[in-house]
Amino acid sequence: MMDPQAPEFIEKAEQFFCRSCDFFMGVAKTHQLPDTRLPEVVFAGRSNVGKSSLINALVNRKNLARTSKTPGRTQEINFFNLGNSLHIVDLPGYGYAQVSKSKTSNWNDTILVYLKGRPQLKRVFLLIDSRHGIMGNDEKIMTLLDTAAVSYQIVLTKIDKLKKSEQDAVVHQTQHYLSKHPAAHPCVLPTSAEKKSGLSLLRGEIFSFVA
């Protein structure tokens, strides 16, 4: 197994992400889930965490993940095809406030069925706003993923909003917190879609599922 963070590997990942990325489909009901063998990586996070901005920055497209914000698609699971080799899957942002015991608002049964029964799903990237850290409903999602044994990794967004010393602190705090979560990848990735930082390492992680 290659090291997804080795420079030669990152270089290949960068080339891979130059391929075209297009909207494939939006799914509202379980039976619509596409029957494909392509590996999938999933992006999840609270509304406004910076998910669309990060997906757009990753694939070098300005408006791709806007699809997920068009009326009628906000509650859908949106699939994007990258170079006919990978699906990037954008889950609806979950809410700020209302969280029920077993579900988080905006997260419906279709999403739970998808997450629990998808062999080609390689990893969920759980986006956390650097300024806020892991909050109550993020914690619920993490527990849900632990229970379903779905591998996930924390990506900190909007890291540019913090000073350098604060950046290191939030990475360490978040990393420390993960020891309680068996399905969490131990490495936390700080990113900024605005400053385009941290993208190469994230691309490397994603490319490892294709290479």
Asked if 48 interacts with ligand GDP (CB under 6 A), we say: yes
User: Which residue among 67, 192, 200, 208 contacts ligand GDP (CB under 6 A)?
Assistant: 192
Residues 73-112 that bind ligand GDP (CB under 6 A): 93
- Residue closer to ligand GDP by CB (options 9, 23) is 23
Residues 7-36 that bind ligand GDP (CB under 6 A): none
> To the nearest whole angstrom, how small is the minimum distance from the Cβ of residue 211 to ligand GDP?
27
Q: Interacting stretch for ligand GDP, rule CB under 6 A, among 10-18, 135-143, 188-196, 198-206?
A: 188-196
> To the nearest whole angstrom, how small is the minimum distance from the Cβ of residue 182 to ligand GDP?
26
User: Which residue among 50, 190, 198, 204 contacts ligand GDP (CB under 6 A)?
Assistant: 50
Asked if 67 interacts with ligand GDP (CB under 6 A), we say: no
**Segment 101-108 long-range contacts (CB within 8 Å, at least 24 positions apart):** 104/137, 104/140, 104/141, 106/47, 106/75, 107/141, 108/75
> To the nearest whole angstrom, how small is the minimum distance from the Cβ of residue 45 to ligand GDP?
6
- Residue closer to ligand GDP by CB (options 6, 169) is 169
User: Which residue among 14, 22, 139, 160 contacts ligand GDP (CB under 6 A)?
Assistant: 160
- Residue closer to ligand GDP by CB (options 93, 204) is 93
**What does each C-alpha distance from 152 to 15, 74, 84, 97, 181 come to in angstroms?**
24, 22, 23, 23, 10
- For residues 24-37, one letter each, b for 16 or more C-beta atoms within 10 angstroms of the residue's C-beta and e for the rest, the string is bebbeeeeebeeee
User: Which residue among 36, 47, 70, 143 contacts ligand GDP (CB under 6 A)?
Assistant: 47
Full strand arrangement of the beta sheet holding 121-129: 21-27, 77-82, 86-90, 40-45, 121-129, 152-157, 189-190
**Structural element, H or E, at residue 96:** none
150 burial class (0-12, 13-18, 19+ CB within 10 angstroms)? middle
DSSP tag of 178: G
Are 194 and 3 in contact by the 8 Å Cβ rule? The answer is no
> Contact residues for ligand GDP (CB under 6 A)?
45, 47-53, 93, 157-158, 160-161, 192-194
